[in-house]
Amino acid sequence: MTGKDEYYNKAKQQGYRARSAYKLQQLDATASLLGGGSTVVDLGAAPGGWLQVAAEAVGPGGQVVGVDRQRIDPLVEPDADLAYVRADVTEVETADEVRAAVGGGDRPVDTVLSDMAPNMTGENSLDHARSVHLARQALELGTELLSAGGDLAVKLFDGRDLAAFETDIEAEFEYVRQVRPDASRDASSELYLVGKNRLTAPVRPGDELAVEIVDVGEEGDGIARVEGFTMFVPGATEGEQLDVSVEAVKPRFGFAEPIRSTDGEPE
Ligand SMILES: C[S@@+](CC[C@H](N)C(=O)[O-])C[C@H]1O[C@@H](n2cnc3c(N)ncnc32)[C@H](O)[C@@H]1O
C-alpha cells in the first residue's frame, strides 16, 4: 500500500477531514507544538483536518482560530473553543481580523501554524517561490501575534530560497528545525520549518553592549536589565558598569559575558 492510500484510508476511518491531519500529529510529536489549554492560530485551515487535531490536543480551555480564504465548515462539538476567519493571509487587514478572533485580541498566542499552499502549476521553481511567499506572510503574522516563547510551524516546498528563509526564522526564535513528516506524500518536496521559542528580547547572541549590574540572582550571577529584559552576567557584582557580549538568549532572559581586555580584566 502506498503512503497516500494508507493515510487517506486512515483519515476516512478516523473521521478526519483531510489526510494532512496526520502531518500535524507528526509535527506535534516531533516538535511539541500543541500544549493543553494553549491558543493556536491555523493559517490555511480548510477543510479543517488540522483544526480537528489541534482542538483535540489543546482541549477544553484551549482556543484554535482557523484562517482560510475558503469557507470552513464549523467542526461539530469541538474539544476546544474554535473561531473561524475567512480571509486572505496576504491582505493587510487579515492580521487585525485574526487578532480580534483570538480571545477578543488580548489572549496570548502560543502557536502559529501554516499549511498554506499555492495553486500548483507543476513547475517546481515557481511553486517553490509561491510557497515561500505564503510562508513569509505566515512568519510576519507569527512574529506579530506570538507571545514570548511561542512556536511557529510553516509549510513550504524545498528550493533555492529555503536556506535564506530559514535564517530569517532563526533571527526571531531560539532555534529552527526542518521537519519532513512521514505523512507527506513520497514524491512531495514539502517540508515544515519549525521556529521554537519566539524571542521578543531586544538583544541577540553576539551583540556587545554597556550594562549596569543592578541586582544579583539566586545563583550569584550579576543581573543587568536591557529595556526591561533580564541578562545574567556571571562573575559581575552589583553596582558594576561594564561592557558585555551576549552569549545566549532565551524567551525570558539571556546570558552575557564581560568583555575582558588581554590582561584578563573587564574593559
Ligand atoms: C493544503 S490546504 C490545508 C489543509 C488543512 N491543513 C487541513 O488539514 O485541512 C491549503 C489551504 O491553504 C489555503 N490558502 C492558500 N493561500 C491562502 C491565502 N493567501 N490566504 C488564506 N488561505 C490560503 C487554501 O485555500 C487551502 O485551503
pLDDT profile of the chain (267 residues), mean per 10: 72 92 97 97 98 98 97 95 97 94 82 97 94 98 95 97 97 96 85 97 95 95 96 96 96 93 61
Q: What is the pLDDT of residue 183?
A: 87
Confidence (pLDDT) at 204: 94
Round to whole Å and give the CA distance between 241 and 213. 6
Residue type, 92: V
Residue 155 annotated among the catalytic residues of the structure: yes
Which one is catalytic: 10, 12, 23, 155? 155
Whose CA is closest to 266, among 257, 214, 240, 258?
258
CATH superfamily of 3-198: Vaccinia Virus protein VP39 (3.40.50.150)
DSSP state of 161: T
In testing the pocket of ligand 1, which one of 23, 27, 68 has its CB within 8 Å of the most ligand atoms?
A: 68
- For the chain, the domains span 3-198, 208-258
The residue type at 47: P
Question: Per CATH, is 208-258 categorized as 3.40.50.970?
Answer: no
Q: E strands of 77-227, at which residues?
A: 81-86, 109-114, 146-157, 173-179, 190-198, 208-212, 215-216, 222-226
Distance from the alpha carbon of residue 252 to the mean position of ligand 1, in angstroms: 33
